[in-house]
Structure 1
């Protein structure tokens, strides 16, 4: 029965992400084709391409406007308006910060480090590139397996250990709860990817 479980698990690990990706692409395609502006355009793929082109044009246009003096004033007024609405301001500010972090030119969370919170314990973290008022580094410690949540801590400089690995390797370790290596394979004995089963 073990071989059946391993084969079934291996098949699911390969097929399930593919099926979920296909479903996500199909859902997005259907929504784009049904937009009022392009609804009825034949063939539907032309409507989807037009929707994407219009969206990219809007993004570039607004981005160009925001780099002007007028755009700066409009952005400040929009921020002030959104921050007056209870509840909505939390969502607005969180999403704005997430986008700013994602598109920032700085190395931000791209440099993985290890920190020593106490004793001989080592924790995978990411250097944010910022410092506290006292001059101490500020790092982000992601939770496992959901790396979009975690804690931001201020640590002493001597407690930050530089590591010789990429951000992808560090994220793989966190996402796999410590069981995955840099090639995405599992190091758990008897798992669906275990070399012992070959």
Structure 2
């Protein structure tokens, strides 16, 4: 154990090649023709053209890059400088920044925040409510945060929804996939569409 609470940073500390492994994995998936655009298609369908979108925990930029190609104004933030460098290489149009989502402080407000790829399960448990509060702060009026992650990653779905409530975000829609299948008690994945309470 390294004493690092963030699971992604712990993986890097234990294996300095982890980020490059992740980059290579998605390059291989793209080369095979795997469908890597499901999250982006859902977000795109929710918004008008030219919407301002935050890709939170953007990794190599695969979601934000596709949304930018669809005509949206995209900003991406990730903790890992290697992944941000890969995003800048592959998708030069969006603005990509290295940053901690629990300390997010951007001048823009966003019509949508997308947080895909199990990002919330990599975050340090003590930082999760702070991240959700930062999402709340960065939403434009009428904006929504869309967060997806899998079960079995030490973050129970009910705990997540409790954390969201603490951050004054309420579910508008709960799904079990990015292709809009309904959420059920036995689902092994959650896609939560959240809005500020009272909006």
| Shorter-chain TM band | under 0.3
Q: Which structure would you say has the larger Rg?
A: 1
Which structure features the higher share of helix residues?
1
TM-score (norm 1): 0.23
**Structure of greater relative contact order (alpha carbons < 8 Å, 6+ residues apart):** 2
TM-score (norm 2): 0.23
